[in-house]
Structure 1
């Protein structure tokens, strides 16, 4: 049950949507800066590759923990309060990173970023899921994350090519996150929506229920396929297609462009053909393109994979959120984002191990994940459609 705070008026729904999309973009910038900035951090601070790997590792752990924790507590603390907390943590993380004189302080900043970004993604997604259907375009929502993923390396590359201090990047993020925090704080009519989630035990029982577990399994299985393909794409292009590293990076950029563009049209396609038809068609195309790409059909097939993968996650996330009661949405979104890191941390080492015997073998787990989606997606959709 929600509290009695005032809801946004109909004239404000579009403004709330833009507010969420803007915050999604800002936090996506920070989330997608960690990897491309590592070589610069290694050079500036005199770190080995092994030592610097602590940064993305500790960030991923704090991110996964926070996503799950926010899923449990968002119902009691309220969505707006959780978003404001994410903003404060984001400002603190950016300030620490900007002022960091040492690797130890930078590590603390990355931990804080994990807390901030985890809180933001789960709470923003949950707020977005409560907008009226007209404004609940999850393809657009995830496209803004993709835009952040495209822009962040450009910012990093600009700083690196100009020989500027990498700390300046975090000053930019500090300003952006502070502005986003103020806008959310002062925005009129945005309620701090709460739910009566019950005891911790009852919430754990709800999270472990078959419906939520199956929904989270679908999202995690998709993520394992996507992240696995992208992680080892460079090796595939260099090893199978004899591209240079620079050419492989260019192809990867093209992948993210078509991936993001396909998300802009996800919602209209889902309304036109239905979520089940859209998702299964995309999974099928992605699977066939993946097989062709592995067997050497051409670099262009990698772009087809990106085009097909783009709509799957937002289409399923919207469908599941639409069929869940309000008090379960936070748990589902938090559990989903937490599962992404857990599942991919298991799949990526397996892919790397298989790739030692030939890079094509590395993509067997991704192919298996796509096959599993063919089985899981219809089951989850049927269960949701038939629930009382």
Structure 2
């Protein structure tokens, strides 16, 4: 029975995580309209989200060692629910940004806690099981954009006012409390104890290990591309191609459908072909799809969705790689990698928002419509370039490991 509770926490946690992360696609244009925000401000808000995630990454592993993974997981779920309420009552850009920041602290805590928990549970067929766990993230991500767009139009009882993005966030984030039930009922696994000196040596070795830094670059560039598609695709389609919010949300859901199926179907292959080789091929396919979609124009929009096939397995496969290469102190390796990834995500979101705004201003003489489209294309081109950078970094990692006689 305890195994059922453990799987419920991991799979349920990823379901909630996917909802909280991807309802923002349809909500962002509405927030932008309500508060009169430009793309630069949106990029700043998303960057601060990543900063909240980074803050959580810096202390979650330590917190799990001190109070246990159970209390840490419960605190993460409760923080996300509280973040949803704060977003719902925010009355300006600063309050909204602060609320998002708080919610992403909960998101960061949850992601680290789930990664540590999954690494302790999935000791065999790690690549497949990590991808299966993250499949549930993709599953909820499929319905998140369409559900969010629909919920924002719901009419409140006894009035004509729509639920809007505020009410939608409150309802969706309250679902974060459901996995607290199996977390309270289950007996969570404990990592074998390490003395303090060994823990310090572990971090020091990671700092001096070229492989650890290459893994950071692989994960960071891959995750920037993955998360940026969820944040910017609906906005891009609405503003560049004049798509309706429903149609744009539908394409985002198609991306997550490809994303989810890839984790379910391709995940088992990563154990067979090796983690580094799998990441290299998959990230290349994602980058090519994203860049090709821009050149093809509106008729090639489906390529945006197909990019999800390649980008989906990268994060869970990197987690499997960390669990296998650093079997002692996996939590430390995950914290080191994901914290540095968080820094890269902050810079990546700032770069996308700044690039869109900068190109838009540069070509302002061509008219508001043309300059806006050029800016959005430049920002989305950066997203595709990040997937290609992931490929290049993984190529270096692959040959470096092969030279040392290591195969992952």
1:278, CA displacement in angstroms? 2.5
> Are residues 222 and 347 of structure 1, via their aligned partners in 2, closer, same or farther at CA, if it must alter by over 3 Å?
farther
Q: Which of the residues 338, 345, 349 maps onto 1:345? A: 349
What is the 5 A alignment of 1:170-185? 170-173=169-172, 175-185=174-184
What is the 5 A alignment of 1:155-166? 155-162=147-154, 163-164=162-163, 166=165
> Are residues 257 and 334 of structure 1, via their aligned partners in 2, closer, same or farther at CA, if it must alter by over 3 Å?
farther
Q: Which of the residues 328, 331, 347 maps onto 1:329? A: 331
1:49 matched to 2:14? The reply is no
Q: Residues 266 and 315 of structure 1 are in contact (CA less than 8 Å); yes or no, is this contact kept in structure 2?
A: no
Any unmatched runs of 5+ in structure 1?
Answer: 1-10
Q: Which of the residues 353, 367, 373 maps onto 2:393? A: 373
> Are residues 175 and 161 of structure 1, via their aligned partners in 2, closer, same or farther at CA, if it must alter by over 3 Å?
closer
Query: Which residue is 2:213 aligned to?
Result: 213
Query: Which residue is 1:7 aligned to?
Result: none
Query: Which residue is 1:269 aligned to?
Result: 269
1:121, CA displacement in angstroms? 0.7
Aligned length: 371
Query: Which residue is 1:245 aligned to?
Result: 243
Aligned Cα root-mean-square deviation (Å) = 3.8
1:39, CA displacement in angstroms? 4.5
1:144 matched to 2:139? The reply is no
| 1:123-148 residue CA offsets vs partner (Å, 9 max, x unmatched) | 11110111134574121222222233
Q: Residues 40 and 160 of structure 1 are in contact (CA less than 8 Å); yes or no, is this contact kept in structure 2?
A: no
Q: Which of the residues 309, 312, 322 maps onto 1:310? A: 312
SS in 2 for 1:386: coil
Any unmatched runs of 5+ in structure 2?
Answer: 155-161, 364-373
Structure 2: how far apart are the matches of 1:119 and 1:153? 23
Q: Residues 46 and 349 of structure 2 are in contact (CA less than 8 Å); yes or no, is this contact kept in structure 1?
A: no
TM-score using structure 2 length: 0.75
Structure 1: how far apart are the matches of 2:329 and 2:195? 6
Query: Which residue is 1:258 aligned to?
Result: 258
> Are residues 309 and 87 of structure 1, via their aligned partners in 2, closer, same or farther at CA, if it must alter by over 3 Å?
closer
1:166, CA displacement in angstroms? 4.5
Query: Which residue is 1:4 aligned to?
Result: none
Structure 2: how far apart are the matches of 1:300 and 1:47? 31
1:164, CA displacement in angstroms? 2.2
1:219, CA displacement in angstroms? 0.3
What is the 5 A alignment of 1:71-150? 71-97=61-87, 100=89, 102-103=91-92, 108-134=98-124, 136=126, 137-150=129-142
Structure 2: how far apart are the matches of 1:31 and 1:288? 25
Q: Residues 262 and 307 of structure 1 are in contact (CA less than 8 Å); yes or no, is this contact kept in structure 2?
A: yes
Structure 2: how far apart are the matches of 1:79 and 1:381? 32
Bigger Cα displacement from structure 2, 66-75 vs 285-294 = 285-294
1:302, CA displacement in angstroms? 3.3
| 1:19-60 residue CA offsets vs partner (Å, 9 max, x unmatched) | 2110121133223334533444566xx532159847545433
TM-score using structure 1 length: 0.78
1:258, CA displacement in angstroms? 0.8
